């Protein structure tokens, strides 16, 4: 994943946090985690995240869509 796609994904997710600029991310090996947001994301932003290569863990890397979007679940991407 490109640096720009990582930045854009995190920027989208920050719009849905009640306390932006907090400790909302984690990383392990080659994966970045953005913890669940405080507010649900719009369909447009969910689709943009998926297009950028972000996914929700329970949906699987190829299975994330707005139809199975879970606002209580975080997002992830491989670097």
What is the count of structural domains for the chain? 1
Task: Report pLDDT digits (tens) over 17-26.
Answer: 998 788 999 9
Task: Report pLDDT digits (tens) over 24-41.
Answer: 999 999 999 999 999 999
pLDDT band at 61 (very low <50, low <70, confident <90, very high): low
77, 53 contact by CB (below 8 A): yes
Query: Which pLDDT score is estimated for 60?
Result: 67
Percent of the chain exceeding pLDDT 70 equals 95
One-letter-per-residue 3-state SS of 52-75: HCCECHHHCCCCCCHHHCCCCCCE
Range of the domain at 35: 3-78
């Amino acid at each position: 994943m490109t640096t720009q796609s990582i930045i854009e994904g995190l920027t989208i997710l920050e719009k849905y946090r009640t306390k932006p600029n907090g400790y909302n991310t984690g990383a392990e090996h080659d994966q970045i985690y953005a913890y669940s947001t405080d507010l649900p994301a719009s369909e447009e932003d969910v689709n943009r995240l998926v297009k950028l290569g972000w996914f929700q863990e329970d949906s699987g890397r190829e299975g994330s869509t707005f139809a199975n979007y879970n606002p209580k679940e975080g997002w992830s991407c491989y670097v």
